[in-house]
Structure 1
Amino acid sequence: MDFNRTVLVTGGSGFIGSHLVCSLVDRHPDWRIINLDNLDYCCSPRSLESVEDRANYTFIRGDVCNSRLVNHIFNTENIDVIFHLAAKTHVERSFETPSSFQRVNIDGTRVLLGAAHQARHQPQRFIYVSTDEVYGASLDQVFDESSPVRPSNPYSATKAAAEYLVQSYWDKYKFPIIITRSNNIYGPRQYTEKVIPRFLTLLQRNKKCTIQGTLPKSRHFLFVDDAINAFLLVLEKGIVGEIYNMGTSCEIPIMQLARELVTMVKKVPDSEVQDWLEFVPDRPHVDLRYPITCEKLQQLGWRAEVSWAEGIRQTVKWYQVHPDFWSDASEDQEQIQSQLEKAE
């Protein structure tokens, strides 16, 4: 079958990547979707069961840092679009093993950019998926795309460094890159180290939500369906060389999040919610909030359409229906259990 477009998604078996791959496969049967993923601990092949037998879907298990493999893909496939999502993303882990974050997030991006730029068939778009954390924290300033980049942990520092690499290919070669920076994306199938599935998994195991420190931390949460719609809009209408914030006005204090989830999962009266919360020592450095504005993306026609009430309802329901989804992850249960005690 001849396809009108070939799209390479790196990290397509991860949380956001799997939602993007499934959406692309379903919406565009005339496009070929190639997923390159090494199936790290936070990925599950089960996330792509709905599309694994589709004629327009191909899975390649491999490391984005493997230049021989990546060059082979670009030499043998006419890649038109790249969505580069493959990355290590857990802040706390980045303090423990910063070299692995540098390797995947920076070197992987370098390998991919080099192969894409040198390919005989020149891609139309290279979309790099970054994070609002590159701005660093703010109590009152709202960041737009021109705000200075001030990452405050090894994870966000590697994402910022990768952004500079991506931008350099636009500056030097006019290679058609676009960068997105998003708020915290949540929804079904997210691995249990992130705060919402972590709280849900603890509650399902009759354990308390562990909240780090006493400072009033909050996060802006964007439902995964809205994020995917933003990616697809940026692909079609985004201006090359530009950066787009993907944000939401839905800012939820972590304490409020825990209380809401306790109420939804345990169905206890307000007077008993506190019994399901446990305060644990804070990690050495944590950003309190990341406020961003996404007017630039909204000018392309995007709006976050899924309300917090609806998004968290869908998410809680999915984890209740699939309590064992992550139980056969590549790490054993003891390791998973220890991660659940740690914060996002």
Structure 2
Amino acid sequence: MDVQRTVLVTGGSGFIGSHLVCSLVNSQPGWRVLNLDVLDDCCSPRSLESIEDRSNYTFIQGDVCNPRLVHHIFNTANVDVVFHLAAKTHVESSFQCPSSFRRVNVDGTRVLLRAAHQAPHRLERFIYVSTDEVYGPSADQAFDESSPMRPCNPYAATKAAAECLVRSYWDRFKFPIVITRSSNVYGPRQHTEKVIPRFLTLLQMNKKCTVQGTLPQSRHFLFVSDAVDAFLLVLERGAVGETYNVGASFEIAITQLAGELVCMVKNVPACDAKDWVEFVPERPRVELRYPIRSDKLRRLGWRTRVCWAEGIRHTVKWYQDHPHFWAPDVAEGHRGARSAVATATD
């Protein structure tokens, strides 16, 4: 096989990462795709069952914070491109255990950058996948890439800190970094800690959707395949040293989201949807919305291809067809996957 590129995806067994890995493996048979993932509770081996026997895919179970393992990968695999998605992302959990978020999101990025920069093989792109939450909330003004970062929760703070590390390698070494900041991504295989699969799971258990507080929270939602398209586009057309917002124009209030899902899952009229929504105590600070502008990415040719109606219908059907996908026993390991766990992990 003539390998045109070797691509390392960190967090490739997670929600967005697994969609990215599958897209790369299926669309680029001449590329070698490496997936480095520690397989925590938010990952499922089932996410990559369709490609685990493909000759251009290799799974490496390991921690991005492990410098011996990460340096071993870069010293032996001739990596051309890095998509760095490995991160802890749940806002509520970040308040409860901020140190674990700092370790993975900041220290893991530092380890990866150092190994990639010191590797004997010259890297073509280091793409860091960040979040719109680094901007902080806004009542009206939409953020562009020049807006200041004002994170308002520990998760967002660690992502902002990691961005600063990534940018320092560009400023100091002209290391070929690109940063993306995405709005809320949704779709099949997302873990139930996130709002859409959480609502769907509760409804499938005949429980009410729980909404934190009564303030008018809303979010912009982007279907996962559109996010993957954006990452692949910045690989080919994005300028090194630049940051690109990846956001959908569609925005919906969380209470309206709950109502729509109730109608779809429970097949009840909209006037009765409120009976399936319960308001629970909110966390100390609630961010009402994170509006961003993606004009810069659109100038590269990116457009969303999946509208909300199509994306949410597809997502609801997937969760209805896979009610036990996130059962406790599915995250025990990559059964049958081609494994390349380096001895440097010992």
Q: TM-score normalized by structure 1?
A: 0.95
**Aligned match of 1:209:** 209
**Aligned match of 2:84:** 84
The count of residues paired between Structure 1 and Structure 2 equals: 332
| Counterpart residue identity of residue 274, structure 1 | K
Q: Give me the whole-angstrom Cα distance separating, in 1, the residues matched to 2:265 and 2:101.
A: 34
Task: Measure how far apart 1:41 and its partner are.
Answer: 0.3
Q: Give me the whole-angstrom Cα distance separating, in 1, the residues matched to 2:98 and 2:330.
A: 21
Task: Measure how far apart 1:186 and its partner are.
Answer: 0.2
Show the 5 A alignment for 1:7-46: 7-46=7-46
Q: Give me the whole-angstrom Cα distance separating, in 2, the residues matched to 1:281 and 1:45.
A: 34
Cα offsets for 1:173-205 (capped at 9, x unmatched): 000000000000000000000000000000000
Preserved contact between residue 44 and residue 329 of structure 1 (Cα < 8 Å): no
Q: Give me the whole-angstrom Cα distance separating, in 2, the residues matched to 1:331 and 1:126.
A: 28
Q: Secondary structure at the match of 2:60?
A: strand
**Aligned match of 2:5:** 5
**Aligned match of 2:272:** 272
Q: Secondary structure at the match of 2:328?
A: coil
Task: Measure how far apart 1:272 and its partner are.
Answer: 1.8
Show the 5 A alignment for 1:240-255: 240-255=240-255
Preserved contact between residue 180 and residue 243 of structure 2 (Cα < 8 Å): yes
**Aligned match of 2:56:** 56
**Aligned match of 1:290:** 290
Task: Measure how far apart 1:275 and its partner are.
Answer: 1.1
Q: Give me the whole-angstrom Cα distance separating, in 1, the residues matched to 2:97 and 2:322.
A: 31
Query: Which protein, 1 or 2, shows the higher relative CO under an 8 Å CA cutoff with sep ≥ 6?
Result: 2
Sort the Cα spacing of 1:329 and 1:291 in 2 relative to 1 into closer, same or farther, 3 A.
farther
Task: Measure how far apart 1:271 and its partner are.
Answer: 2.9
Sort the Cα spacing of 1:331 and 1:39 in 2 relative to 1 into closer, same or farther, 3 A.
closer
Corresponding position: 1:165 with 2:165? yes
Runs of 5+ consecutive residues of structure 2 not aligned to the other structure? 333-346
**Aligned match of 1:317:** 317
Cα offsets for 1:134-187 (capped at 9, x unmatched): 000000111000000000000000000000000000000000000000000000
**Aligned match of 1:341:** none
Q: Give me the whole-angstrom Cα distance separating, in 2, the residues matched to 1:209 and 1:178.
A: 38
| Counterpart residue identity of residue 307, structure 1 | C
| Counterpart residue identity of residue 86, structure 1 | A
Runs of 5+ consecutive residues of structure 1 not aligned to the other structure? 333-344
Q: Give me the whole-angstrom Cα distance separating, in 1, the residues matched to 2:165 and 2:64.
A: 15
| Counterpart residue identity of residue 23, structure 2 | S
**Aligned match of 1:198:** 198
Aligned-pair identity in percent equals 74
Q: Give me the whole-angstrom Cα distance separating, in 2, the residues matched to 1:224 and 1:161.
A: 25
**Aligned match of 1:336:** none
Q: Give me the whole-angstrom Cα distance separating, in 2, the residues matched to 1:199 and 1:179.
A: 31
| Counterpart residue identity of residue 249, structure 1 | S
Preserved contact between residue 46 and residue 330 of structure 2 (Cα < 8 Å): no
Q: Give me the whole-angstrom Cα distance separating, in 1, the residues matched to 2:293 and 2:16.
A: 21
**Aligned match of 1:340:** none
| Counterpart residue identity of residue 292, structure 1 | I
Preserved contact between residue 219 and residue 252 of structure 1 (Cα < 8 Å): yes
Preserved contact between residue 217 and residue 288 of structure 2 (Cα < 8 Å): yes
Moved over 4 A (4+): 329-332
Q: Secondary structure at the match of 2:145?
A: coil
Q: TM-score normalized by structure 2?
A: 0.95
Corresponding position: 1:96 with 2:96? yes
